[in-house]
Chain A
Amino acid sequence: EPEVTQTPSHQVTQMGQEVILRCVPISNHLYFYWYRQILGQKVEFLVSFYNNEISEKSEIFDDQFSVERPDGSNFTLKIRSTKLEDSAMYFCASSVGREDTQYFGPGTRLTVL
């Protein structure tokens, strides 16, 4: 069964450093998403992406965040200058169509020291 994969599973970084989280969506999916979950809190929407453009973003997704589909398989989330409060699980998701079921990856645990 096809799955969304994410790398790395755990990323530790120093405050102020740039990080790139990587995702490989399910191959025939066209819509991609990033969510995050701070420990003990709700899963929060960050951004949706289709046809090489951001379609919607939340207030969390400020100028420090960016997304890219650098090739035909990867979907990345970049945080330019990490803050302590960026520490969270980051989940990538993908769906075939815009109203189809979203399938989530296993997540990347980001720890900012």
Chain B
Amino acid sequence: LAKTTQPISMDSYEGQEVNITCSHNNIATNDYITWYQQFPSQGPRFIIQGYKTKVTNEVASLFIPADRKSSTLSLPRVSLSDTAVYYCLVAEGTGFQKLVFGTGTRLLVSP
């Protein structure tokens, strides 16, 4: 089971780029890295997923170094509505993805 470690909280201002780094030293060969966003009293929302190098979509970018022991979620030009908890997850290898959520990173975006 690959455990993830990410900062408990981060603060930013509107318009800034935010980078949230997650470490997962024990990631297995078959594991993917997935990031979810959660607003209060709502279900987790998928943001991005990757295996190695860089993945970009309309919401964020995910940077994964060659050793895959960490990953960085990059949110360009955040707005107030990006205030949420962000979870880094590593899928438990093959078979069902029993997603294991940590405490996440609470991002607060201020005006």
Contacts and interface: CB of A to CB of B under 8 A. Distances in A.
Given A99-B94, A109-B41, A35 B46 contact: no
Contacts of A48: 96, 98
B96 A55 contact: yes
A27 B26 CA distance: 35
A48 B38 CA distance: 21
Contact residues on B (Cβ < 8 Å of other chain), bracket: 20 to 34
A12 B109 CA distance: 34
Contact residues on A (Cβ < 8 Å of other chain), bracket: 20 to 34
Residue picked from B38, B44, B91, most chain A C-beta under 10 Å? B44
Interface in B87-104: 87, 91, 94-103
Contact of A42 (B91, B94, B95, B103): B103
Given A101-B46, A107-B42, A109-B41, A45 B98 contact: yes
Interface string A28-48: 000101010000001111001
Interface in A4-33: 4, 31, 33
Contacts of A107: 41-43
Overall SS of chain A's interface: strand
B70 interface: no
B102 A42 contact: yes
A101 B43 contact: no
Interface string B26-55: 000000101010100111111001000000
B97 A95 contact: yes
Interface of A: 4, 31, 33, 35, 42-45, 48, 50, 55-56, 58, 89, 91, 93, 95, 98-107, 109
Interface of B: 32, 34, 36, 38, 41-46, 49, 87, 91, 94-103
Given A43-B87, A58-B98, 17 more contacts: A33-B99, A42-B102, A43-B38, A45-B98, A45-B100, A50-B96, A56-B95, A56-B98, A91-B44, A93-B43, A98-B96, A99-B97, A103-B46, A104-B44, A104-B45, A105-B43, A106-B42
